[in-house]
Amino acid sequence: MTQTPIAAIILAAGKGTRMKSDLHKVLHPIAGRPMLMHLMASVDALEPAKKVVVVGSGKEQLEAALAGSADLAVQEPQLGTGHAVQMAEGALTGFNGDVLILYGDVPFVPTATMQAMIDRLNAVDAPAVVVLAFEPEDPTGYGRVIVEDGRIVKMVEQKDATDAEKAVKLSNSGLMAVKAADLFALLARVTDDNAQKEYYLTDIVNIANADGRTCVAVTTDPFDVAGINSRAQLAEMEGAWQARRRVQAMDDGATLIAPETVWFAHDTVIGRDVLIEPNVFFGPGVSISDGATIRAFSHIEGASIATGCEVGPYARLRPGAVLEEKAKVGNFVEVKKARLGKGAKANHLSYIGDADVGAKANIGAGTITCNYDGYFKYKTVIGEGAFIGSNSALVAPVKIGRDAIVAAGSAVSRDVADGELRLVRAEQLVKPGWADRFHDAMRKKKG
Ligand code: UD1
Ligand code: CA
């Protein structure tokens, strides 16, 4: 089916005061991604011809986040949802398709729901407006959608509603689909003659009805249209998102011993037979291949973990950590911008940053790559099969050759050749019996 072009108008000019934040409300992250970008991803799946975000304050923040992926229209002052949509008219000059109206703080509308609204708009009875409605347990505060014989006879805000209308549960999510040609013509006729002295978007339904047109509701699951107005709702939505993602991970073949303690990012990729122990946090950009084990209390971000790797307990993988097949990163090891080749191991208490570690190399407990001099970062290269003794400091830039051994406690600041032993520590002083004589003398002195 060839589809009419689609434009999305995303409202985000509301003050968002309940967040008490300097960050724009729609940029607060869920699963490591701004809520607006979750919504944009669902919109993008429709391949829209145009996207316009309507913004009040915090325009620069939205500009930076969107990075040119959508147009911005400014609404100043904010005179209501109808007025907000009107602000997008200029950006849609010459656009003649279907318009989807969305809210930036309602981030989890599925693409299929948006498509269902568009399909309904293009059905044979050609409705003027399609409203996305839902039935919350408690509709207090929402606008009500009064439906009779399959068509909306009235849209009414809580503050303007009669008791009989307040008793209606079917509520307005705020989201609509309207043909561009109808939308702006209807909006031009909206007034602010209501309890809140606002230009209500919902009035386009009442005006279309008065013209003898038909307006209809598409009903959806309350979760899909849940809005976020406070930090508590943000946390609630995060929880709901995580709960779904955990089930998905298990359905896809991962074992989560305590699913409710594992936190995924929006883009975490997890293979089959991956074992994730309790209390693991994933930031963005992580992929885990089949059969890897992530032990308890690990924090992992921007990392790629190959088949059969073992990570943690208490490991930290930071952006650019690449673990090749069967590599091991143990407790209290931090890895940043570093590759560990096949079967390489850093099992205890290390910092491996800006490094390339060859296959089967063994990094002893307490080894540190000294990658920073306070001004610049430098690289450490460790050859295949090299053995780094415990508590070594590798002062970058430095190369340790293949199969080389660095003795425990060495501070290595010059390259080590293949197969070399490097030992950087003071000669040992051996004094047999000295301690016994010392104790005797001191005890006598003390009496
Ligand atoms: C609106 C609907 C109501 C619906 C509810 C769902 C109207 C008149 N009312 O209520 O029927 O049940 O959403 O949550 O449409 N915004 C702007 N500029 C403005 C005003 C709002 O951009 O001048 C944006 C907000 O950022 C937000 C959205 O529009 O994303 C909704 O605003 P909000 O004030 O939460 O909704 P209500 O008007 O109370
Ligand atoms: Ca409101």
- Ligand 1 nearest-atom number relative to CA 142: 12
Looking at CATH, the fold of the domain delimited by 252-422 is given as UDP N-Acetylglucosamine Acyltransferase; domain 1 (2.160.10)
**DSSP secondary-structure letter at 160?**
G
Distance of CA 355 from the midpoint of ligand 1 (Å): 51
| Location of structure tokens 């309890």 | 195
Q: What CA–CA distances, in Å, run from 128 to 117, 171, 211?
A: 12, 19, 10
Token pair listed for 240: 């709901």
pLDDT in 10s for each residue of the chain, 447 residues: 557 999 999 999 998 999 999 999 999 999 999 999 999 999 999 999 999 999 999 999 999 999 999 999 999 999 999 999 999 999 999 999 999 999 999 999 999 999 999 999 999 999 999 999 999 999 999 999 999 999 999 999 999 999 999 999 999 999 999 999 999 999 999 999 999 999 999 999 999 999 999 999 999 999 999 999 999 999 999 999 999 999 999 999 999 999 999 999 999 999 999 999 999 999 999 999 999 999 999 999 999 999 999 999 999 999 999 999 999 999 999 999 999 999 999 999 999 999 999 999 999 999 999 999 999 999 999 999 999 999 999 999 999 999 999 999 999 999 999 999 999 999 999 999 999 999 999 999 999
How many other C-beta atoms can be found within 10 angstroms of the C-beta atom of residue 428? 5
Pocket test for ligand 1, best of 10, 81, 178, 201 (most atoms within 8 A of CB): 81
Ligand closest to Cα of 233 equals 1
- State the pLDDT at residue 127: 98
Looking at CATH, the fold of the domain delimited by 6-225 is given as Spore Coat Polysaccharide Biosynthesis Protein SpsA; Chain A (3.90.550)
Amino acid symbol at 304: S
Q: What CA–CA distances, in Å, run from 131 to 28, 48, 116, 149, 396?
A: 27, 19, 11, 15, 62
Amino acid symbol at 337: K
Q: Return the residue whose CA atom lies nearest to atom 34 of ligand 1.
A: 14
| Residues 246-254: contacts with CB under 8 Å, at least 24 apart | 249/276
How far is the C-alpha of 5 from the C-alpha of 251, rounded, in Å? 36
Whether the upstream peptide bond of residue 107 has omega within 30° of 0, thus cis, is no
Ligand closest to Cα of 196 equals 1
- State the pLDDT at residue 89: 98
Q: Return the residue whose CA atom lies nearest to atom 1 of ligand 1.
A: 174
How far is the C-alpha of 118 from the C-alpha of 98, rounded, in Å? 7
Residues 6+ apart with CB under 8 A from 164: none
- Ligand 1 nearest-atom number relative to CA 143: 11
How many other C-beta atoms can be found within 10 angstroms of the C-beta atom of residue 145? 28
Distance of CA 81 from the midpoint of ligand 1 (Å): 5
Per DSSP, the three-state class of 194 is coil
Distance of CA 132 from the midpoint of ligand 1 (Å): 14
Ligand closest to Cα of 15 equals 1
According to DSSP, the β-strands at 351-357 and 380-382 are: parallel
How far is the C-alpha of 213 from the C-alpha of 206, rounded, in Å? 10
- Ligand 1 nearest-atom number relative to CA 83: 23
Beta bridge partners of 218: 132
Contact (CB, 8 A) for 362 and 381:
no
Q: Return the residue whose CA atom lies nearest to atom 25 of ligand 1.
A: 14
Residues 6+ apart with CB under 8 A from 102: 8, 9, 10, 11, 39, 43, 109, 114, 175
Q: Return the residue whose CA atom lies nearest to atom 33 of ligand 1.
A: 14
Distance of CA 142 from the midpoint of ligand 2 (Å): 8
Angle at which helices 111-121 and 35-44 pack, to 10 degrees? 50
Distance of CA 143 from the midpoint of ligand 2 (Å): 10
Q: Quick one: 333 exposed, middle or buried, by C-beta within 10 A (0-12, 13-18, 19+)?
A: buried
- Ligand 1 nearest-atom number relative to CA 201: 15
Query: How many residues in total does the chain contain?
Result: 447
- State the pLDDT at residue 2: 58
Distance of CA 372 from the midpoint of ligand 1 (Å): 50
Ligand closest to Cα of 26 equals 1
How many other C-beta atoms can be found within 10 angstroms of the C-beta atom of residue 4? 13
The question of whether 348 is a catalytic residue gets the answer yes
Per DSSP, the three-state class of 321 is strand
Active-site option among 38, 266, 348, 439: 348
Helices (H), 21-110: 35-44, 59-66, 81-86
- Ligand 1 nearest-atom number relative to CA 199: 8
Residues 6+ apart with CB under 8 A from 199: 79, 80, 81, 82, 83, 86, 187, 190, 191, 192
How many other C-beta atoms can be found within 10 angstroms of the C-beta atom of residue 169? 15
User: Which of 169, 101, 104 is closest to 132 using CA atoms?
Assistant: 101
Amino acid symbol at 45: A
- State the pLDDT at residue 120: 98
* Residues contacting ligand 1 via CB (< 6 Å): 11-14, 54, 75, 78-81, 83-84, 103-105, 142-143, 157, 171-174, 200-202, 227
Strands (DSSP E) contained in 144-225 are 144-148, 151-156, 171-179, 215-219
**Fold agreement between 6-225 and 252-422:** no
Distance of CA 13 from the midpoint of ligand 2 (Å): 12
Report domain extents, the chain.
6-225, 252-422
- Ligand 1 nearest-atom number relative to CA 55: 22
